[in-house]
Structure 1
Amino acid sequence: MGIKDRGKLKWQGAFFMPEHVKLLRDMHTDYHRISKPILDEYQIEEYENKICYAMEFVLSVKVTVWEDGFEKEYIGKVCRLDEIHKVIYLKLHNEEGYIMRIKFDTIVGVVVLE
Structure 2
Amino acid sequence: MSIKDRGKLKWQPALMLPEYVKLLNEVNKDYYRQVKPILDEYQLEEFENKIHTAMEFASPVKFTVWEDGFEWEYTGMIHRLDQFTKLIHLELEKEKGHIIRVKFEDLVAVEVRE
Q: When the two structures are superposed, what TM-score results if normalisation uses the length of structure 1?
A: 0.86
| Moved >2 Å (runs of 4+) | 12-15
Partner SS, residue 15 of structure 2: coil
- In the TM superposition, residue 79 of structure 1 has moved relative to its aligned partner by 1.5
Query: What's the Cα RMSD here?
Result: 1.6
Partner SS, residue 30 of structure 1: helix
Q: When the two structures are superposed, what TM-score results if normalisation uses the length of structure 2?
A: 0.86
Letter in 2 for 1:40: D
CA distance in 2, matches of 1:13, 1:27: 21
CA distance in 1, matches of 2:27, 2:33: 10
CA distance in 2, matches of 1:14, 1:103: 44
Structure 2 unaligned residues grouped into runs of 5+: 1-5
Aligned residues: 105
CA distance in 2, matches of 1:13, 1:111: 49
Which residue of structure 2 lines up, in the alignment, with residue 78 of structure 1? 78
- In the TM superposition, residue 13 of structure 1 has moved relative to its aligned partner by 8.4
- In the TM superposition, residue 62 of structure 1 has moved relative to its aligned partner by 0.3
Letter in 2 for 1:110: V
Partner SS, residue 80 of structure 1: strand
Structure 1 unaligned residues grouped into runs of 5+: 1-5
